[in-house]
Chains A and B, each alone.
Chain A
Amino acid sequence: MNSWVLELFLWLNGVMFAIAFGTYLKRSLMNDSEQ
């Protein structure tokens, strides 16, 4: 894209969704194993 700001913006979006879905999966699996 030839813009460090917009590339960072896209990367951080990726990180945000990775944390959101990663935490969702991790906590869901933990809840399942507790049950």
Chain B
Amino acid sequence: MDFYTTLNWGLLIVTFAVMIGIGVWSGKTVSDSDEGGFLLAGRTLGPFVGAATIVATGFSGWGFMGSPGVAYEFGAIEVLGNFFFAPAMMVAVLYFASFMQKRALTMGSNTIPEYIGQIHGGGSGGRLLQGVSAVITIVLLMVFMVSQIKAVGLLGASWLDIEMTTSAWIMISVIIIYTMWGGLAAVAWTDTVMVCGMALGAIVIMVQMFTSVDVGEWVAKLNEINPSLLNPETAAPYGDSKGSVFLVFPYAFLFAAVLPYMAVRFLAFRPKVKMHTVGIYVAILGGILSLIPLVGLYMRAYGPELAQADAAMPMYLQTFLHPALEGLITLFIIFAMQSTANSMLQTVSAATSHDLRLALNKNADHDSPHALVVNRVAVVALGLLSLFMMMYAPPFMLSWLGILGSGTLLAAMIGPVFISTFWQGTVPGALTAMIVGFFTSGGLLLTTDIGWVEGPLIGCLASSVCYFVVSMATRRNAEARRA
């Protein structure tokens, strides 16, 4: 083992010890008489930790690895496309989060499926919605989580010079330990540490790039290679017309406001937190991280020619940074992947141990020591299950699997989570919306070559229309029966 690999092992051991320490420390919010302690960090998240966990979860490994590759191949359009996630998260925080937070607090919702059930009136209909939304969440987030574990396993393997499966085991084990111990509080606090590392990594990269070249010369070089890198005629890979890139904004907004592993954070804020302070932190952190795809343009102008665009970031680190710095930034990229994976594990576990349990048994234990044990066992069991699934997952299409999982979940949840916060539909309306959204987006992504933004957005439209139409129709029927 060479010196720098040993250094990487040292970094890994130190940071993992810190993460587990945070898990144990944040375990103080866990109480065996209130499930909200484990599932919602006891509703204690302040502005910075809340913003940090939203940004860390929203910016997955894609921002560091996939996006620079797309920028290398297609040019500056990816810098713009990837950027939209930052303002979208900020708008979701400023103009949606407090509505959802207040309603969830009034109803006592501990998870997004529970919120869906309660906002539609609770009772047996509410339990049905809670169960169906939990099943959809589990199925689709498991797909996404497997792709993240595979990606972190692959990166960790080359970083530590070990087998991919061993690397994935190491990476997921630490997530299981701290999530089991401290629940959402542990996830949020470790996300905070990780997003600081990610932002630091982005700043180091920007300093290296902007101090090593003249911007005018950089632009001239790119124009010499291909003028459409900086002035594209289309928005490829987002679509044929230039305007297609703007579709990323509504997609990213719904991503932040609707997806259960993102939106659950709004429920976990301290009741009196000032969302305008959270918005500032989200804008700053998101703004810094959205600069990362510039690496693709730098590599295109100054780096060696790449056979595969996806290698833009690893090759940049290897070519332009000192090996010690390369190791440190790779750790920050691993952080980006882990901070998304831990949130998904927490959400999938809560959907299994809390939502399915309550949906299937109306007399199930609530806010009891028994419920806490079930919640903790679910974290371990689903973490291990995702590892086994990862070992048999196809060794390709990692990004596509992620898109299939998150995009389809988005289309299924828009009516019951987002629209219902402002306009309450009925149980049949919510059920139809979830099923139509699931099959429309999933079907389009699986059977056609439609874009990854367009498929879920069409699913969202179909789901929203169904939510309105079926809710109006069934509401009239219910009123007629009552009359």
Contacts and interface: CB of A to CB of B under 8 A. Distances in A.
A20 B90 CA distance: 8
Contact of A24 (B76, B280, B286): B280
A13 B83 contact: yes
A16 B79 contact: no
Contacts of B94: 19-20, 23
B: contact size bracket = 20 to 34
Contacts of B283: 16-17, 19-20
A31 B277 CA distance: 13
A12 B279 contact: no
Nearest to B286: A16
B476 interface: no
A6 B230 contact: yes
B87 interface: yes
Given A16-B90, A16-B283, A23 B276 contact: yes
Nearest to B220: A2
A5 B90 contact: no
Contacts of B277: 24
B90 A1 contact: no
A9 B76 contact: yes
A17 B287 CA distance: 9
A26 to B, nearest CB: 8
A12 B290 CA distance: 12
Nearest to A26: B276
Nearest to B249: A12
Interface of A: 1-6, 8-9, 12-13, 15-17, 19-21, 23-24, 26-28, 31
Interface of B: 75-77, 79-80, 83, 86-87, 90-91, 94, 215, 219, 223, 230-232, 274, 276-277, 279-280, 282-284, 286-287
Given A9-B80, A19-B87, A24-B279, 17 more contacts: A1-B219, A2-B230, A4-B231, A5-B76, A5-B77, A5-B80, A5-B232, A6-B80, A9-B76, A12-B80, A12-B83, A16-B87, A23-B94, A24-B276, A26-B276, A27-B276, A28-B276
